[in-house]
Structure 1
Amino acid sequence: MIRPLLATGLAIVLALGFLSCEPKSIQTTPGTNPGGSWKQLKSEANSIGKKEWRPMLSYVAELHKKSTHPPVWPFEHEWEEIGPGYVYGPAFGHWDLVHQVIDLMPAYPEHAYKQLLNNVKNQEDHGMVPGSFWMPGSKLNKKRTKASWSREKQGHPPFWVFAIDDYVELTGADSVLKRFYGPLVRQISWFENNRKAEGEGFYYTDILTKRWESGVDEGIRFDDTAEGAWACIDATSHVYYLYKVAAKWSNMLGMDDNFYGRRADQLEKHIQEGMYDKKDGLFYDSWAMKDEKLRTLAFETLFPIVAGAATKPQADRLINEYLLDTTCFNTAHPIATVGKRDPKFELRMWRGPAWNSMTYWVARGCVKYGRKDAAKIILEKALDSSAKQFEKTGTIWEFYHPLGGNPEEVLRKPGSARNKPCKDYLGHNPVIAMARLYAEISK
């Protein structure tokens, strides 16, 4: 059952017909091209950032094109897989899609917009936006002859709203909000009805099923934690951001934004006061707030900065004492997904190795708090290291050795079909966006 206030908001959306409205024309700001092309993406890749980065950036631009396929059920538009090197692919969706969209958006906004439409088109009636769509053509699963996805149990981090905001800012086409406002309201309702934690906050099913809905497979936070609907710092920060965006879009559409604003304020206060330890200067999951033995240096402590839920003093302390500390997250290839000095740090997927996508989000969060200095440091180090490995191996990797070693020296999932990071993996490599952000903050 949808909560009353959310149901009211959704009824208004339906009454206005916002769920099916497509923008009839895209109003662009001077100098922008609403359509764009692969050629423009390649041109940007060959002209942005340091010269030594450009062979890698150009390769990634071509990989975007190579990874795009004609429309096929369940997608109405051309669709971009998360990378031809993905061992379980081809696949579409999760937060990988958002990284890809942001990576190419300024040069090819038309293609980016189609991916965002594909993403919300298959939202379930109860509000869940599906996580990964598994498409035919898998080398490991040749029995997969049609698309499949979880319709009930497995969502994903709701980062797609970042991409919509970026699209609107780029093109000026705020009319697209009419198409995405309804899916946003429904997804908020789904989180409230299905992922509401005991007390306050939200959780991902990692804590219940170990199916890694958070996108962080085998994350260290859950190693010794009892099962329960306990608030996770990542999920709570992500839903907080959904409410902030809902308030913003409601205002832009001339609708009442009071409920969404109040709910965002409630979650912000809970994150700042109920999920932050003043002594440590870190954000924690609810169970780690209660039991210090369960505390770790997991990178998820940085999500309140990405979402803008931390206070400025909290953000500055976290950046100064942890993000920029070379014994913690600021490794040779930042950011380490587990602080280097944490006893649980290891060279294994999400338990230490660096993912360029997460470096991008943290850098973006730093800029939000006026810390361009920190953003520049981690972006430059990550791109330098990625370009160095590209020169050696001729590919981009799913994740990287945090200490600067060979990516093939880090582990993926012991006992699985592949225990090394995948090659030609677009989904976690928004390196063009990283170079673009680096250029912007270096002016």
Structure 2
Amino acid sequence: MQSGPSYWGPAFGEVYRLLRSNLREPNKLFPMRHAIPAKIFMGVYLWDTAFIAQVWKPWDAGLGEEICTAVMEHSVEGRLPHFVSKYDSSEWTQPAVMAWSVWELYQAQPDRAYLEKYYPVLKDYNRWLYENRRLEGGLFFWDHPYESGIDNAPRFSSRSEAEIADMRRLAAIDLSSYLVRQNRTLAAMARELGRDEEAARFERKAEELAALINRDLWDPDTEMYYDLAANTGRLIKVKTIAGFFPLFAGAAAAEQAQALVRHIMDPAEFNTLIPLPSVSRDDPAYEPDMWRGPVWINTAYLVIVGLEDYGYRKEAAELAWKLVDGVYRTWEQDHKIYEFYDPDRIGIQELHRKRGNLYKKITLGDKPRPNFVGWTGLVNTLLIEHLVGLRQSNGRWVLAPNFPAEAQGFRARLTFPADQVDLRVEVKTSNQIIFEFQSPTKWRKLELTSGESAEI
């Protein structure tokens, strides 16, 4: 990519270089190409893979599908595993975002045979979660903080993980939200495959669960979603990014969404220099340590998707721009793409990794892991699909730009070798965006405003 700010182009290129370097060729355990988030993580992880597939999607949706099979082919009695590795094993799962990722890939480049093969796997995973992670009241729990993917969050444990909450009695806002989105996604898959009765059942499950989330996990006083201690009936009032996942799920009512946006866009809470920290900047539980405060691009990405789904495009554009710039500026300074980021400054000097946990310090160090692409690569997807607004839909290219005011003067050239597509973009203002699109069969120049769309 050639781009406006001088560091954006090289940083964009480094993301894709690392993405390719973390791709692994088939072997005995994985008879397909598969992805690791960074060289130090010697396994294939469920939610990492789902997000990595979304990094691959603009470049090669078919490869994104292939790496997802590395998880789905290792389903165990319905459970999609936490990770698969020749060095270790796990009895847990991870966040239920695989169905969402597979459906996103399918919508870009439909492969009906792929959907017919893996829809039953994803449906079976949904069944397993209902049978093994559902509380008596109908909401869902994590078996361990590691299942949640947000290991040392103040919702679950102490900073070092020396103390862990009773997870089986905690109705989790994130897992419950993931299940709403997963049920709706499975309904869409079922309709696509002509299974209308199954689609209707999944829609009912989604609506029932969304109603429980709004009844039991919403706090009208602080206007935020939280976990619920099922044994006491008390909400765990720590303001975390998980409280915004009902937007991703489509579970929040319009007035609740509006209240959440106020939290998201408040500079004292979540609209920081690099936005969408894992814990609100003004929460007493905030610490610059992994999931106790730093910014993780995957969870930030889900919030931006949710904002767009609810029509908050202006807010989504502002946050996406700041996320992309924050990661790229950090690369300019350190020449590293990191696992997580400081919401307050460029650089990782103040960040830590489970401080007090000696085992983690020995095995993974005290700082964010470098060369993590990995879900940090979603910044490139944010730029391509959510700011420039270029994406494939049913095999056709669509442009739907969404730039903030800060993007005025931005210029970029994006090339997609797999499809032999070349796109030039110039943002004169958010209401005047010039595109030149070229493929082997088409050349087109067009002018759009943020909020407009055009099929090319």
Q: CA deviation at 1:103?
A: 0.9
- Structure ranking higher in strand proportion: 2
Equivalent AA in structure 1 for residue 153 of structure 2: G
Q: What is the match of residue 410 of structure 1?
A: 351
> 405-414 vs 301-310, which deviates more?
405-414
Q: 1:307 to 1:48 in 2, by over 3 A?
A: farther
Q: CA deviation at 1:67?
A: 1.3
Q: CA deviation at 1:147?
A: 4.5
**Structure 2 residue ranges without an equivalent (≥5):** 158-163, 390-401, 404-449, 451-456
* C-alpha separation in 2, matches of 1:48 and 1:267: 44
Q: 1:120 aligns with which of 63, 67, 72?
A: 72
Equivalent AA in structure 2 for residue 173 of structure 1: D
Equivalent AA in structure 2 for residue 106 of structure 1: P
* C-alpha separation in 2, matches of 1:363 and 1:227: 28
Q: Could you tell me the percent identity over the aligned residues?
A: 24
- Structure ranking higher in helix proportion: 1
The alignment status of 1:104 with 2:56, answered yes or no, reads: yes
Equivalent AA in structure 2 for residue 428 of structure 1: W
The alignment status of 1:372 with 2:313, answered yes or no, reads: yes
CA RMSD of aligned residues (A): 1.9
Q: CA deviation at 1:69?
A: 1.9
Q: 1:81 to 1:228 in 2, by over 3 A?
A: closer
Once the two structures are superposed, residues 166-225 of structure 1 have per-residue CA deviations (whole angstroms, 9 ceiling, x without a partner) of 11111133442201211111101110111011311111113xxx4x21000111112485
DSSP 3-state at the match of 1:213? helix
DSSP 3-state at the match of 1:409? coil
Q: What is the match of residue 292 of structure 2?
A: 351
* C-alpha separation in 2, matches of 1:197 and 1:354: 30
Once the two structures are superposed, residues 113-159 of structure 1 have per-residue CA deviations (whole angstroms, 9 ceiling, x without a partner) of 110111200111x210011223xxxxxxxxxxx35422xx2101121
* C-alpha separation in 1, matches of 2:2 and 2:56: 14
The alignment status of 1:216 with 2:171, answered yes or no, reads: no
Preserved CA contact (<8 Å) 2:226 2:239: no
Equivalent AA in structure 2 for residue 220 of structure 1: P
* C-alpha separation in 1, matches of 2:203 and 2:167: 31
The alignment status of 1:133 with 2:84, answered yes or no, reads: yes
Q: CA deviation at 1:336?
A: 0.9
Preserved CA contact (<8 Å) 2:100 2:182: no
* C-alpha separation in 2, matches of 1:324 and 1:91: 36
The alignment status of 1:300 with 2:242, answered yes or no, reads: yes
Equivalent AA in structure 2 for residue 108 of structure 1: D
Q: What is the match of residue 278 of structure 2?
A: 337
DSSP 3-state at the match of 1:286? strand
Q: What is the match of residue 234 of structure 2?
A: 291
Q: What is the match of residue 8 of structure 1?
A: none
The alignment status of 1:185 with 2:132, answered yes or no, reads: no
Q: 2:219 aligns with which of 277, 281, 303?
A: 277
Once the two structures are superposed, residues 333-352 of structure 1 have per-residue CA deviations (whole angstroms, 9 ceiling, x without a partner) of 11111001100101101100
Q: CA deviation at 1:74?
A: 1.9
Preserved CA contact (<8 Å) 1:49 1:439: no
Q: 1:331 to 1:422 in 2, by over 3 A?
A: same
Once the two structures are superposed, residues 269-302 of structure 1 have per-residue CA deviations (whole angstroms, 9 ceiling, x without a partner) of 111222112222111112299335x311111101
Preserved CA contact (<8 Å) 1:363 1:378: yes
TM-score using structure 1 length: 0.81
* C-alpha separation in 2, matches of 1:385 and 1:372: 20
Say how many residue pairs are matched: 375
Q: 1:254 aligns with which of 194, 210, 226?
A: 194
Equivalent AA in structure 2 for residue 433 of structure 1: T
Preserved CA contact (<8 Å) 2:45 2:71: yes
Q: How does 1:2-17 map to 2 (within 5 A)?
A: none
* C-alpha separation in 2, matches of 1:111 and 1:66: 14
The alignment status of 1:155 with 2:93, answered yes or no, reads: yes
Equivalent AA in structure 2 for residue 54 of structure 1: G
* C-alpha separation in 2, matches of 1:95 and 1:192: 19
DSSP 3-state at the match of 1:350? helix
Preserved CA contact (<8 Å) 2:326 2:346: no
Q: CA deviation at 1:309?
A: 1.3
Q: CA deviation at 1:388?
A: 1.2
Preserved CA contact (<8 Å) 1:203 1:232: yes
Equivalent AA in structure 2 for residue 67 of structure 1: N
Equivalent AA in structure 1 for residue 204 of structure 2: R
Preserved CA contact (<8 Å) 1:48 1:439: no
TM-score using structure 2 length: 0.78
> 405-414 vs 373-382, which deviates more?
405-414
Preserved CA contact (<8 Å) 1:198 1:230: no
Q: What is the match of residue 19 of structure 1?
A: none
Q: What is the match of residue 433 of structure 1?
A: 381
Q: What is the match of residue 194 of structure 1?
A: 132
Once the two structures are superposed, residues 395-442 of structure 1 have per-residue CA deviations (whole angstroms, 9 ceiling, x without a partner) of 101101110142132001222221111000112301211112122222
